[in-house]
């Protein structure tokens, strides 16, 4: 299958899944909107579930790429974390499929795909992990920091703030700043 046709199918599938959710999205409508036959959709993906996974993978890669643009190793890592979490929040507000994946809604829709969805969630931690590694190199964070574990905690922290306060920007900003301050003070290198 040519790449342009597959990209068109994935784009239309993302729109349909975003608009209707996994269960209500129709392969017939995806095919119609992509300008291809239903059989062509099944050449791009083995099943509706596989198409959904491919869409989520594509969306997560786009989110990771967009958020990585704020990472500059010349900037102190604590400032980078604030920039990264802010960029992530902005993107998630515009991309409900990524948000739903990260907060576990997707797993509720397809529990048998839990392990594969967790692999995608892990992609979302890569940028945070990179900023933490920068902080270790800069001497701002503990050299023995478990980067992957802390990246997971920060991802969970940011997502919980988004779920609880995402519609109230002022409260979200206040809570995020306070929580990040607590986390960063636990990450900072101690003078020897």
pLDDT at 83 over 80: yes
Per-residue pLDDT tens for 8-18?
A: 999 999 999 99
pLDDT at 22 (0 to 100): 92
Of residues 34 and 94, the one with the higher pLDDT is 34
DSSP per-residue string spanning 23-83: HH--HHHHHHHHTS-HHHHHHH-SSHHHHHHHHHHHHHHHHHHHHHTT--TTS-HHHHHHH
Per-residue pLDDT tens for 155-175?
A: 888 787 777 776 777 887 787
Q: How confident is the model at residue 139 (pLDDT cuts 50, 70, 90)?
A: very high
Q: How far apart are CA 141 and CA 134, in angstroms?
A: 9
Superfamily of domain 56-187: Tetracycline Repressor, domain 2 (1.10.357.10)
Judge contact between 66 and 48, C-beta under 8 A.
no
Question: Residue 63: which residues within 8 A CB-CB, separation 6 or more?
Answer: 88, 91, 92, 95, 98, 124
pLDDT at 121 over 80: yes
**Which range (25-39, 73-87, 152-166) has the least confidence?**
152-166
Specify the pTM: 0.83
Of residues 184 and 91, the one with the higher pLDDT is 91
pLDDT at 58 over 90: yes
* Cα dihedral sign, 47-98-59-10: positive
Give the distance between the most distant pair of CA atoms in the chain. Answer: 67
Judge contact between 92 and 102, C-beta under 8 A.
yes
**What 3-state class would DSSP assign to 8?**
helix
Q: How far apart are CA 21 and CA 155, in angstroms?
A: 24
Neighbouring CB atoms inside 10 A of 39's CB total 8
Q: How confident is the model at residue 187 (pLDDT cuts 50, 70, 90)?
A: low
Domain range summary for the chain, segments of one domain joined by +: 1-45, 56-187
Rounded mean pLDDT of 16-37? Answer: 94
Of residues 175 and 5, the one with the higher pLDDT is 5
- Among 3.40.50.1380, 1.25.40.10, 3.30.450.40, 1.10.10.60, name the CATH number for the domain at 1-45: 1.10.10.60
pLDDT at 137 over 80: yes
Nearest to 27 by CA among 43, 1, 60, 113: 43
């Amino acid at each position: 299958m040519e790449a342009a046709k597959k990209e068109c199918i994935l784009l239309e599938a993302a729109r349909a899944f975003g608009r209707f959710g996994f269960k209500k999205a129709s392969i017939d409508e995806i095919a119609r909107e992509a300008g291809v036959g239903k059989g062509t959709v099944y050449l791009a993906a083995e099943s509706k579930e596989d198409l959904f996974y491919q869409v989520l993978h594509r969306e997560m890669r786009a989110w990771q790429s967009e958020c990585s643009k704020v990472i500059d190793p010349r900037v102190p890592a604590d400032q980078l974390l604030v920039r990264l979490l802010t960029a992530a929040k902005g993107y998630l507000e515009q991309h409900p499929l990524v948000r739903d994946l990260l907060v576990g809604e997707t797993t509720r829709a397809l529990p048998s795909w839990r392990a594969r969805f967790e692999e995608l969630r892990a992609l979302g931690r890569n940028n945070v992990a990179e900023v933490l590694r920068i902080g270790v190199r800069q001497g701002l964070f503990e050299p023995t920091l478990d980067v992957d574990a802390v990246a997971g905690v920060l991802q969970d922290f940011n997502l919980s703030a988004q779920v609880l306060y995402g519609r109230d920007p002022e409260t979200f900003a206040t809570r995020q700043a306070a929580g990040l301050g607590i986390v960063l003070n636990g990450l900072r290198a101690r003078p020897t």
